Amino acid sequence: MPNLDELFAQVDAQRNEIVALEQELVKIPSVNTGFMPTGNETPVCEYIRDWLAQDGIESEILEATPNRGNIISSIPGTSGETGLLFMSHTDVVPVEEEDKWTYPPFSATIANDRIYGRGASDCKGLLTAQLYAMRLLKRNGIQLKDTLGFVSGADEEHGGRYGFGWLAEHHPEKLKAPFAVNEGGGTPIDSPSGLTYILGVGEKGRLQVEIEIKGTSAHASVPWQGTNAMYRLSQVLRRIEDYEPERDTSTSLFDYLSSFAIEHKPSASNVDEIISEIEPENPRFASMMRALSRMTLTPTMIQGGIKSNSVPETINLTCDVRTLPHQSEDYLREQLDEIVKDIPGVSYQIDYMAVPNSSDFRTDLSRSIQESTAKALGRNDIQWVPAISTGFTDSRFTRPLGTVTYGFSGTHPDDDPMLSHIHGTDESVGISSLISGTKIMMALAIDLLT
Ligand SMILES: [Zn+2]
Q: Which domains does the chain have, with CATH numbers?
A: 4-199+357-449 (3.40.630.10), 202-354 (3.30.70.360)
pLDDT score, position 236: 98
Say how many Å lie between the CA of residue 157 and the centre of ligand 1. 7
**pTM, whole model, 2 decimals?**
0.90
Element (H, E) at 19: helix 15-27
Q: How far is ligand 1, taken at its centre, from the CA of residue 171, in Å?
A: 21
- SS3 for 297? strand
Helix ranges (DSSP H) in 311-386: 329-340, 364-377
Identify residues whose C-beta is under 5 A from ligand 1, the ion: 122-123, 183
Strands 205-214 and 314-323: antiparallel
Cβ atoms of residues 307 and 218 within 8 Å = no
Distance of CA 183 from the midpoint of ligand 1 (Å): 6
List 421's β-bridge partners, or say none: none
- Dist. CA 350 → ligand 1 center (Å): 25
pLDDT in tens, the chain (450 residues): 899 999 999 999 999 999 999 999 999 999 999 999 999 999 999 999 999 999 999 999 999 999 999 999 999 999 999 999 999 999 999 998 999 999 999 999 999 999 999 999 999 999 999 999 999 999 999 999 999 999 999 999 998 999 999 999 999 999 999 999 999 998 898 777 789 999 999 999 999 999 999 999 999 999 999 999 999 999 999 999 999 999 999 998 898 887 777 777 889 999 999 999 989 988 888 998 999 999 999 999 999 999 999 999 999 999 999 999 889 999 999 999 999 999 999 999 999 888 899 999 999 999 999 999 999 999 999 999 999 988 889 999 999 999 999 999 999 999 988 899 999 999 999 999 999 999 999 999 999 999
Using the mean position of ligand 1's atoms as its centre, give its distance from the Cα of residue 182 in Å: 9
Distance (Å) from CA 109 to ligand 1 centroid: 20
392/405 Cα distance (integer angstroms): 13
Q: What is Dmax (Cα atoms) for the chain?
A: 87
The predicted pLDDT at position 130 comes to 98
Do 350 and 340 meet the contact criterion of CB atoms below 8 Å apart?
Answer: no
Say how far apart CA 374 and CA 436 lie, in whole Å.
11
CA 423 to ligand 1 center in whole angstroms: 9
Q: Bin 161: left if φ > 0, else alpha if -120 < ψ < 50, else beta.
A: alpha
Q: Tell me, in angstroms, the distance from the centre of ligand 1 to residue 344's CA.
A: 42
Q: 121 C-alpha to center of ligand 1: Å?
A: 8
Ligand 1 midpoint to CA 95 (Å): 15
> CA-CA distances (angstroms) from residue 361 to 74, 75, 204, 318, 369?
26, 27, 16, 35, 11
Give the separation between CA 81 and CA 402, rounded to whole angstroms: 15
In the reported structure, the alpha carbon of residue 100 is separated from the centroid of ligand 1 by a whole-number distance in angstroms of 22
What distance in angstroms lies between residue 152's CA and the mean position of ligand 1's atoms? 11
- pLDDT, residue 440, reads 98
| DSSP for 98-167, written as a single string | GGG-SS-TTS-EEETTEEESTTTTTTHHHHHHHHHHHHHHHHTTPPPSSEEEEEEES-GGGTSTTTHHHH
Rounded to whole angstroms, how far apart are CA atoms 128 and 28? 14
Q: Cα–Cα distance between 321 and 318 in angstroms, integer?
A: 10
The Å distance, Cα 159 to ligand 1 centre, comes to 11
Distance 393 CA to ligand 1 centre (A): 7
pLDDT at 97: 92
Distance, CA 122 to ligand 1 centroid (Å)? Answer: 5
155 alpha carbon – ligand 1 mean position (Å): 10
Q: How far is the CA of 128 from the centre of ligand 1 (A)?
A: 14
CA of 89 to the centre of ligand 1 (A): 7
> Do residues 206 and 392 make contact, with C-beta atoms less than 8 angstroms apart?
yes
> Taking the alpha carbons of 197, 401, 163, 129 in that order, is the dihedral positive or negative?
positive
* Interval between CA 78 and ligand 1 midpoint (Å): 32
Cα–ligand 1 centroid distance for 165 (angstroms): 14
Give the pLDDT confidence score for residue 1 in this predicted structure: 81
Helix axes 42-53, 124-139, angle to 10 degrees: 20
Q: What is the pLDDT of residue 260?
A: 74
Estimate the crossing angle of helix 364-377 against helix 431-449, to 10 degrees. Answer: 130
CB within 8 Å of 49: residues ≥ 6 apart: 59, 61, 71, 73
- For residue 24, what are the CA distances in angstroms to 53, 74, 95, 126? 16, 21, 18, 14
Ligand 1 centroid to Cα of residue 167, in Å, is 17
- Residue 445 alpha carbon to ligand 1 centre in Å: 22
The DSSP code for 400 is: G
Q: How close is the Cα of 29 to the center of ligand 1, in Å?
A: 15
Q: Are 131 and 54 in contact (CB under 8 A)?
A: no
- CB neighbour list of residue 379: distance below 8 Å, 6 or more residues apart: 195
- Note whether 78 and 449 are within 8 A (CB): no
119 alpha carbon – ligand 1 mean position (Å): 8
